[in-house]
Amino acid sequence: MKLLRRVGFFHTSMLLLSATIGAGIFVTPKGVLKSSSQNIPVCLSIWAGCGLLSMMNAVCLAELGTTFPVSAASYYFLKRSLGSSAAFLSLWIKLLACFLGIGAQCLAATSYLIQSFYAGCPAPELPKRCLALAFLWCFGILNARGIKTVAWFQTINSLMKTSILCVFSLTGVVLLVNGEKEHLSRFQNALDAELPNASQIADAMLQVFYSYIGSSVIINMAGEVKSPSETIPRSVISALPTVIVLYVMTNISYLAALTPEEVVSSDSIAVTWVNRVFPSMEWIIALSVSVLLIGSIPCGILSASRVFYCASQEGQLPFIYSMLNDHHSPLVAVIQSIVLTSVAIITSNVIYLVKYVSLGAWFINLLNMIGLLKLRYQNPDLPRPYKVWLPFVFGSIASSAFLIFTPIVQSPSIEQVYQVAFLFCGLLVYWLQARLGRHATCFDTITCYLQLLFNVSPSEEHDK
């Protein structure tokens, strides 16, 4: 029993495309424009620049995925380059980010879907959360059927996503070419707007990076990709430029139909845009947007479960998480991901926590790049089927450090104290985990009962 390499170049590219295009493009434009001081050129530049930075980071991570072609390659790599404590800290941050991110996608999807039933007034919270939980558990069942089932679903969903965003993008082009003078005036007078400071730019970038955060999913599934040394780099280079173009064009479409003040004041920007451009098609567009948002949920569950799986094999989580069912899926890891995400959906309004999800992702990225440089220096002869250009690694380190430390230096707040406390909690949990690991034999009986309950079997160890 082991995870099988079933996903080729086409399905890998579709998975990457579907994972990247998600709730971000309908959640973050409001906050990004606000943090950009409603300066349209700066806002659009941040969307394009962050897309290029995300692609640069994904190319750097591709080296990790090809050098260590295993599931959750980033975690596996950190344990071997920076040690067990750094690997566990990345696990601590990544799992929280996964649960908050998946919860945000579920709530965003249900918000757009239910809001169409409550024209002119806010939708109640209870139906949103119940429907979000229903979507979450359905996609959990889908993940339990194995990665091939998820790949086929994501391929269909990717085609739908690109079609929907193409409608938004082409509508914006038509409004600018054939529209009234007011559509063009917003861009003609855009240079007169106030320029944001460095802290505001960093805040806007963190929110934009939430929209690109799915680009790392390919590293978490590296153990199930056919010919990873060729497939992973090609998928990154082919999928992410498409996402960048679609995101920038969609933002242009928003600003062609709405004023910056309307974008900032809107709670559901896609609904506001549809009411202005296609008022008679509100239901169709709302349903399409919900489909677009829903499609990223299976990739999030896939990514989180593979992190559980790898950490279990490395001895930092209970052994039961690395056991597989008949479909070669880590069923218990999938269930654990669903349960923790359900708690996030029920207890908090995670849709507003995208900045902290992005901050955690960039902290992990900084650890990855430092580990990559260390491994290049200590093991120069290690077989590397794909080797990224070294300036890209330094650029990734610089961008990560800028996004992490600029808000702390320019506008310190009590929230940053909470973030540091959260990191120290991760180190405390690591110490407790190490202590409990010495007495793991008392959990063997529980593991056996869970193995029988879920009908799972131990997987083979990683190839050394």
| 3-state percent helix, strand, coil for the chain, nearest multiple of 5 | 80, 0, 20
* Amino acid residing at 339: V
pLDDT digits (tens, 9 = 90+) for 282-306: 677 667 777 777 777 888 898 889 9
User: Distances in Å between the alpha carbon of 81 and those of 18, 89, 216, 355, 378?
Assistant: 31, 14, 19, 28, 9
Query: Does the structure show a pLDDT above 70 at 191?
Result: no
Query: Does the structure show a pLDDT above 90 at 247?
Result: yes
Query: Does the structure show a pLDDT above 70 at 107?
Result: yes
User: In 218-374, which ranges are E strands?
Assistant: 323-324
* Assigned CATH topology for domain 9-458: Amino acid/polyamine transporter I (1.20.1740)
pLDDT digits (tens, 9 = 90+) for 410-450: 767 776 677 777 777 777 887 776 666 555 566 778 888 88
User: Distances in Å between the alpha carbon of 201 and those of 177, 268, 355?
Assistant: 30, 23, 13
According to the model, what pLDDT value does residue 462 have? 46
Query: Does the structure show a pLDDT above 60 at 3?
Result: yes
pLDDT band at 355 (very low <50, low <70, confident <90, very high): low
Dist CA 436 CA 312 (whole Å):
14
Q: What contacts 57, CB < 8 A, 6 or more positions away?
A: 215, 216, 365, 396, 399
Dist CA 265 CA 267 (whole Å):
7
Which of 354, 359, 346, 351 is CA-nearest to residue 401? 359
Dist CA 323 CA 329 (whole Å):
8
- Answer yes or no: are the C-beta atoms of 350 and 107 closer than 8 Å: yes
Dist CA 270 CA 398 (whole Å):
34
More confident residue, 332 or 187: 332
According to the model, what pLDDT value does residue 351 have? 45
Task: Find the angle CA(358)-CA(359)-CA(363) to the nearest 5 degrees.
Answer: 115
- Answer yes or no: are the C-beta atoms of 243 and 213 closer than 8 Å: no
* Amino acid residing at 75: Y
User: Distances in Å between the alpha carbon of 281 and those of 33, 169, 273?
Assistant: 26, 17, 11
Looking at residue 44, what DSSP letter applies?
H
User: In 279-390, which ranges are E strands?
Assistant: 323-324
The enclosing H or E element of 458 equals: strand 457-458
pLDDT digits (tens, 9 = 90+) for 128-155: 889 989 999 999 999 998 888 888 888 8
Dist CA 34 CA 241 (whole Å):
25
What is the pLDDT averaged over residues 195-208? 83
Dist CA 28 CA 327 (whole Å):
37
Q: What contacts 76, CB < 8 A, 6 or more positions away?
A: 68, 70, 310, 314, 462
Hey, which residues does 323 pair with through a beta bridge? 458
Torsion of CA 100, 105, 106, 110, to 10 degrees: 140
pLDDT band at 249 (very low <50, low <70, confident <90, very high): very high
Dist CA 63 CA 368 (whole Å):
11
Query: Does the structure show a pLDDT above 90 at 243?
Result: yes
The pair of structure tokens assigned to 92 is 């601590």
Which of 251, 206, 196 is CA-nearest to residue 54? 206
The pair of structure tokens assigned to 36 is 């950009």
Which of 207, 25, 175 is CA-nearest to residue 112? 25
Helices and strands of the chain, counted as H and E runs: 21, 2
What is the pLDDT averaged over residues 52-78? 88
pLDDT digits (tens, 9 = 90+) for 76-95: 888 888 888 888 888 888 87
Quote the pTM value.
Answer: 0.84
pLDDT digits (tens, 9 = 90+) for 313-324: 888 888 889 899
Task: Please state the φ and ψ torsions of residue 128, each to the nearest 5 degrees.
Answer: -60, -50
According to the model, what pLDDT value does residue 273 have? 85
According to the model, what pLDDT value does residue 242 have? 92
SS3 422: helix
How would DSSP label each residue in 233-265? HHHHHHHHHHHHHHHHHHHHHHHHHS-HHHHHH
Q: What is the CA radius of gyration of the chain?
A: 22
Which of 342, 318, 341, 340 is CA-nearest to residue 330? 318
